[in-house]
Amino acid sequence: MSLPSSYFFFEPSSATPSLIIERAQGIYLYTKEGKEIIDAASGAVVVNIGQGREEIATIAQEQIKKLDYIVPIWLSEALEGLVKKLSEWFPTEPYRFYFTTGGAESVEAAFRFAFLYQIAENKPWKNKILSRWTSYHGITLGALSASGNRLRREHLEHCLLDWPKIPPPYCYRCPWSKTYPSCGIACAQALEEVLHSKTGNSIAAFIAEPIIGASGGAIVPVEEYWPAIADICKKHGLLLIVDEVMTGFGRTGKRFAFEHWKLQPDIIVSAKGLSGGYIPMGMLAVREELVQRCEKVAKNFMFFTYTSHPLSCAIAKKVIDILEAENLIDHSMKMGELLGQSLKNELANHPFVGEIRGKGLFWGVEFVKSKITKEPFPPEEGFLNRLLRKALELGVFFYPCQGMADGFSGEAVLVCPPLIVKEGDILKIVAVLKESLNQLI
């Protein structure tokens, strides 16, 4: 038998630390050599309830013995249980749920629904999705077309749909060089301006992350931003899609991050924390009245092969049960306050730290070469990779973010440990980040 030259599809960059993870428990990863690593990134902001849960293994075993797969047009007990549970999480208005195997699939499904809805409204010319720069919605071509992450769009630009984008709500590097609150919330008014342009009449929906994750490093908008965006969408007949793939299911100290602004989105996309990494799964939640309108036009909404997979549904429901039973959303808020304050106390005056921002257990630290000018480190210097290596040597993994300054430069880390994290763990995470930065001076 001839083995390939790598176990990876693309061999990882030499700048990326190569590890073999043999097992995990709680917030800890263990390498083949026995090294213990705190996962301060929850994997890719996925592992909300921690790893190695016996109750999840039990549920999985029971479900596999009972029912593994059915055609998605049929109903399973596991699907029924998950939908009932999720309905409790949306108490103010009824939503319909559609399940996928991950975030990108869910985003694609959201776009498909948005276009179908506009057809139901007799507006078939509304066939574009409006989004923001410094954003990421998935690596499939539709989701990537709506993503404003230039690094991840690189080499594929010629294949992507030419959909419009507005600048992000990024006060630290305001695209208009203005200062809050005298700025007039220009980042929200940018949406209004696009809708009054020649492309405005072709917009079916606006998609954005409540708090910008992988592309920005937990960029939190000002309080007025989201209410203004929601009002503009409603006025112009756009569907508002919130991308909660990273921020959903307790990550920011609320069930969903949009709750911080008391929004009522038309469509909610989520994944990651829905199943806590125990199985690939994503979801789409759409306001009931919108689905009912589309049902009058279309006979069905085509499923993916693994839509509503019984095993995925059973595991997801158990993950939500655990979030509730252990009060992990309240715990996320409490530990998040400690994390944010500790980061600010220990790092705010560090010469390499530009801004510290976040909510709940979703924090970002942006690094700069100069605190005064906010000049980012040039990518070729490899600052972020060197920092990650130092932190791993000291036993902590952080999630890297790049490109927020100008699309290609700008470096940050997400600090977002599992929601089960304890006070002592947080203090160690912050201490390791500080020591790693000090070693790079």
Is residue 6 a part of any domain in this protein? Answer: no
Is residue 138 a part of any domain in this protein? Answer: yes
Q: Quote the pLDDT of residue 299.
A: 76
Q: Which of 279, 304, 325 is the last residue of a domain?
A: 325
Cis check for the bond before 210: say yes or no (omega within 30 of 0).
no
Say if residue 255 is in the same domain as residue 217: yes
Say if residue 379 is in the same domain as residue 247: no
Is residue 23 a part of any domain in this protein? Answer: no
Is residue 51 a part of any domain in this protein? Answer: no
Question: What single DSSP character describes residue 94?
Answer: -
CA dist 129 to 292, 414, 419, Å? 22, 27, 33
Is residue 29 a part of any domain in this protein? Answer: no
**Residues in the chain, total:** 441
Give the range of the structural domain holding residue 262, as residue numbers without chain letter. 56-325
Is residue 9's pLDDT more than 90?
no
pTM over 0.85: yes
Say if residue 191 is in the same domain as residue 111: yes
pLDDT digits (tens, 9 = 90+) for 116-137: 999 999 999 999 999 999 999 9
Say if residue 296 is in the same domain as residue 350: no
Is residue 19 a part of any domain in this protein? Answer: no
Residues 297-307, mean pLDDT to the nearest whole number: 90
SS3 283: strand
Say if residue 250 is in the same domain as residue 304: yes
Is residue 44 a part of any domain in this protein? Answer: no
| CA gap 240, 229 in Å, rounded | 9
Q: Quote the pLDDT of residue 115.
A: 97
Place of tokens 């921690």: 50
Say if residue 129 is in the same domain as residue 263: yes
Q: Residue 320: give its domain's CATH number.
A: 3.40.640.10
Say if residue 274 is in the same domain as residue 206: yes
Specify whether the CB–CB gap between 153 and 188 falls below 8 A: no
Residues 203-211, mean pLDDT to the nearest whole number: 98
Is residue 17's pLDDT more than 80?
no
| CA gap 139, 319 in Å, rounded | 26
Residue 197, number of CB atoms within 10 A of its CB: 10
Amino acid at 121: E
Of 208, 259, 257, 260, residue with least CA distance to 232: 208
Say if residue 314 is in the same domain as residue 362: no
As a whole number of Å, the CA-based R_g of the chain is 22
Q: Tally the domains of the chain.
A: 2
Confidence of residue 3 (pLDDT cuts 50, 70, 90): low
Say if residue 265 is in the same domain as residue 129: yes
Is residue 10 a part of any domain in this protein? Answer: no
Q: Which of 325, 340, 363 is the last residue of a domain?
A: 325
| CA gap 347, 356 in Å, rounded | 8
| CA gap 172, 353 in Å, rounded | 12
Is residue 10's pLDDT more than 90?
no
Q: Residue 418: give its domain's CATH number.
A: 3.90.1150.10
Q: What percent of the chain has pLDDT over 70?
A: 98
Say if residue 396 is in the same domain as residue 298: no
What is the residue-averaged pLDDT of the chain? 96
Say if residue 173 is in the same domain as residue 190: yes
Is residue 15's pLDDT more than 80?
no
Confidence of residue 14 (pLDDT cuts 50, 70, 90): low
pLDDT digits (tens, 9 = 90+) for 338-393: 999 999 999 999 999 999 999 999 999 999 999 999 999 999 999 999 999 999 99
Confidence of residue 181 (pLDDT cuts 50, 70, 90): very high
CA dist 56 to 8, 37, 85, 377, 419, Å? 28, 23, 17, 43, 16
CA dist 53 to 65, 268, 311, 318, Å? 19, 27, 16, 11
Say if residue 255 is in the same domain as residue 279: yes
Q: Which of 301, 325, 349 is the last residue of a domain?
A: 325
